Amino acid sequence: MTRTAIIAAFPGELRHIVRGWQHERRNGVDTWSHRDDNLYVAACAGAGQPAATRAFAAVEESAPIDLVFSVGWAGALTADVPAGSAHNAAGVIDTATGERFRCDAGAGPLWLVTNAKVADHSEKLRLATTYSAALVDMEAAAIGRLAAMRGIPFYSIKGISDGLTDKLPDFNRFLTPGGQLQMTQLTLFALLRPIYWPALIRMGDNSRMASQSIADTLRDFLDE
């Protein structure tokens, strides 16, 4: 029996994957499990590589992992990647170290970069130029590194929540050191600044579509 780990940052990224699964929250990590012919365990602990590492450790605590997916929302680094779509990345580049973690056979052609902070428009342009990548997130490189250390297959399926030119608030100021998004503070900030309303509404719609696209892409991939 294969034990597959599915690591995300936030529960909303997993909602269409873990519906009906057994849920548990312990030490700040949410986990969901499901068993058929194989065992699937999903986990999230917040944004950023340290949070992703905690989520991975929570899954690995009870038994070794045979296969791991880093899934969740990502930003588009080019105008060619439509919001709401999901992509099975070719590999992940850690912008902090320059390390590259190639995904296993069957992955797509687009590269993902993992950045230490949420990327705004100017940072997205820099990342696209520097790394020839199409997507940006904050977690996948940690999972790629852990998979490489253990010699297990690694994949990253990311759904596009925000486009290249969307004018959004600086989400970094609303992330706690542990990677949790302070929604109340963000909402109050945005309510007083109508300039952000259109992009935030689009982001909400895109995130919902992206969550479904991630689940569909993952199921199709596992079925193959």
Query: By the 8 A CB rule, do 116 and 194 touch?
Result: no
For the residues 143-171, what does the mean pLDDT come to? Answer: 95
Task: CATH number of the domain at 214, please.
Answer: 3.40.50.1580
Asked whether residue 107 carries a pLDDT value surpassing 80, the answer given is no
For the residues 189-205, what does the mean pLDDT come to? Answer: 94
Asked whether residue 217 carries a pLDDT value surpassing 90, the answer given is yes
For the residues 96-111, what does the mean pLDDT come to? Answer: 90
Q: What is the rounded distance in angstroms from the CA atom of residue 156 to the CA atom of residue 67?
A: 11
Query: pLDDT digit string (tens) for 44-75?
Result: 999 999 999 999 999 999 899 999 999 999 99
Structural domain boundaries, residue 115? 3-223
Q: How many CA atoms lie within 13 A of 173 on its CB side?
A: 9
Tokens of 145: 């590194």
Tokens of 118: 């949420």
The predicted structure's pLDDT at residue 73? 98
For the residues 164-171, what does the mean pLDDT come to? Answer: 92
Percent of the chain past pLDDT 90, that is, above it, reads: 91
Confidence of residue 83 (pLDDT cuts 50, 70, 90): very high
Q: Which conformational region is residue 48 in: left (phi greater than 0), alpha (psi within -120 to 50 degrees), or beta?
A: left
Domain count, the chain: 1
Q: At residue 94, what is the residue type?
A: D
